[in-house]
Amino acid sequence: MRALNEPNSWWGWHGWSDRPVPMSITQILQAGTMSPELAALFWLSLERQASLILAAEPPSAGKTTILTALFTFLPPETQSYFTRGWGETFDLPPLSDGVPTYILVNEISDHLPVYSWGPYVVRAFELLAEGYSLGGTLHADTVEEAIAQLEEENGVRRSHLAHLTLIGALRLVYTGGRALRRLHEVALLEPGGSSRDDLSVTTIASWDAESDSFRLLDSEAAAAALSQRLGLSEGDLRQEIERRGSFLAGLVRDGVLEHEAVERAVAVYRGDLTPESAR
């Protein structure tokens, strides 16, 4: 991924230079935050220019950490534009065929000038409707609360919300004296009904707290909706999730955890690098 501008407070108000060492997607899998199959679902979606927002109510739940780790799955030619909060001009290059351009919003919030709120969020979603992609975070406990915040508090039109592909909601729980971070709900957004302002929201993954396990595409409606949105047959969708999930589980099992090592392994998997050049 090539950055079109310098990130500003991507990791919060501390700024970019004080960022923590980014976690890899395999470290996140090792921690149990999501399953390998769910990570594979994100992989398939992001390589098709899916837009994604991660939500969590408490701070330090892992929104930015997980979103950053998922960027490993973006096509290598992807361009990224980091927003800068109040006064953002969205000085973006024109869209180019075959070159995805992501607008990356460090946080949708009215707490600090480095975050985006109101008209700046509306503009980001207008650009999403024009063909740009979007990645960002916000404070909400559920997918429903995240949508309400975007629509009711920021004024984003439902027809523009429908261009957002996925919303994931994280939960931070404490058990046995330790913190557990779990992606407890993932929903697919798309236009719904006959009105251009209708919005369809389909849950495609969820976390079962009792068994600490993840359900994924456990209804025909969810599988059909996602396969149609990604341009895959349902059989190919399930096969690719299984295949890529097994690959990611193998990386965890083999101890491939360092961020750059994971990026190289993914690049080899998709044919961007040869095994020899990745060493």
Name the β-bridge partners of 134: 103
Contact predicate 240/217, CB 8 Å = no
Q: Is the pTM of this model over 0.85?
A: yes
Residue 102: what pLDDT?
98
Residue 15: what pLDDT?
45
**Ordered mean pLDDT values, 10 residues apiece, the chain (279 residues):** 87 54 93 98 97 94 94 95 95 90 96 94 97 97 98 96 97 88 97 76 96 95 96 97 98 97 96 74
Distance CA 40, CA 120 (A): 31
Q: What length is written for the chain?
A: 279
Distance CA 151, CA 205 (A): 23
Residue 162: what pLDDT?
95
Pairing verdict, β 79-82 and 133-138: unpaired
Name the β-bridge partners of 81: 103
Residue 279: what pLDDT?
66
Identify the CA nearest to 38 among candidates 207, 233, 251, 163: 207
Q: What is the token pair recorded at 108?
A: 């949708």
All domains of the chain, ordered by start, with CATH?
2-22+50-233 (3.40.50.300)
Residue 14: what pLDDT?
46
Q: Residue 20 has what DSSP assignment?
A: P
Distance CA 235, CA 34 (A): 22
Q: Please count the other Cβ atoms lying within 10 Å of the Cβ belonging to residue 138.
A: 25
